[in-house]
Amino acid sequence: MRGKKARRTPNMASNRHLGRIVALQTLYELDFRIELAEKSLDSEAVLERNINRYSEVMQDKEFVATLVRGVLDSIQELDAFIQPLAPEWPLSQIARIDRVILRMGVWEMQHNDAVPVKVVINEAVELAKGFGADNSSKFVNGVLGSSAKKLGKVSETKTKGAKSKTTSKSKEKADEKTKAN
């Protein structure tokens, strides 16, 4: 019984990871085609085509569809939320792949409480490592970490235990030095 449970968890995680890859591919294509002002663009057809391409190995098709539709329906709000978190980088100057990953991550943090914020950020970082430039993963991690703070979900991203005690002690020492000076 234990072996079956252990096998199901990685399959679910890898299935969701594949789902996020399909969502990323779909949103990337749509972002590009929207920018070109393509008149005959059918986002549902693009989504359906990409889901069907992986239908034999991807079980959670509804997750992909919900993520893609949610991001598409919220692009302006997502961009308005993200922009102040990376003020040195206007969204138009952020690489398309990074912009799409950020939109997906923020949307998922805002609308999918079933997935812990740590998982959302880690998945986005993995997508950035796999599809972005050399520094994309650091950029995505930083912006999504700031997003979690702004959304009040920072406690979900902090490591608990001895590490946080060390951080507190370091802060206390710094405060003592400041007072002494």
Q: Where do the domains of the chain lie?
A: 2-180
**pLDDT at res. 155:** 66
The fold for domain 2-180 equals: N-utilizing Substance Protein B Homolog; Chain A (1.10.940)
Residue 150 CB partners (closer than 8 Å, separation 6+) = 81, 85
pTM of the model: 0.79
**pLDDT at residue 177, as a whole number:** 42
Residues 95 and 89: their CA atoms lie apart, in Å, by 10
pLDDT of 154: 77
What is the structure's pLDDT at 12?
57
CA distance 145 to 85: 10
Per-residue pLDDT, 11: 57
- CA gap 117, 123 in Å, rounded: 10
What is the per-residue pLDDT for 148? 97
Q: Average pLDDT by consecutive 10-residue portion of the chain (181 residues)?
A: 37 80 97 92 96 90 96 97 93 95 98 94 97 96 96 66 39 44 41
